[in-house]
Amino acid sequence: MSTEAENRFEEIKQIFIKYLEEHSLRKTPERFAIMEEIYNRGGHFDVESLYINMKNKNYRVSRATVYNTLDLLLECGLITKHQFGKNLALYEKSYGFKQHDHLICRECNKILEFCDPRVEKIKQMVEEFYDFTIEDHSLHFYGKCNNEECEGKQKKEVKPAE
């Protein structure tokens, strides 16, 4: 881990410690292991994949501990929860990452992230017009991948019988 990454992780850890102390919650090794696992992985994840990953690395955590820790990390702003039109909730780390929006393929469920400065300008215009302070936003576009590599298209292809 680079010095910059170590410093960022220490910042994240301190935010979590402060939150736990302010709410008189225990600072357990399991909670910090879960937080570290999240910040060492990329992209979106669900509870089950995080839990299995932790178990595969021989961490002694229960599903309940994973769920409870995710709730705490959500409350202190270190992760974000998404519901991309499916029943499955997905999470992603949020501290130190710029605001971004999502494209979701309905064929293969692939999630693409994008950042467009025009969205920020629209947000500012809405704030001014409605005299409203926007603290956060979520923008999701649903559709279909237009490329041949779309996993959903590959699954639906039926090969003729020989």
Binding residues for Fe cation: 101, 120, 137
SS3 assignment, position 104: strand
- Spatial separation of the C-alpha atoms in residues 70 and 50, rounded to whole Å: 10
Torsion angle of the four alpha carbons 126, 130, 136, 142, in this order, in degrees rounded to the nearest 10: -50
Q: Radius of gyration over alpha carbons of the chain, in Å?
A: 19
- Spatial separation of the C-alpha atoms in residues 17 and 44, rounded to whole Å: 24
Give the CA distances from residue 112 to residues 10, 72, 101, 158, in Å, rounded to whole numbers and listed in that order: 29, 26, 8, 27
Q: Which residues contact 33 (CB under 8 A, 6 or more apart)?
A: 54, 59, 61
Q: Both tokens of residue 127? A: 């704030």
Binding residues, by number, are 101, 105, 108, 120, 137, 145, 150
Binding residues for Zn(2+), by number, are 105, 108, 145, 150
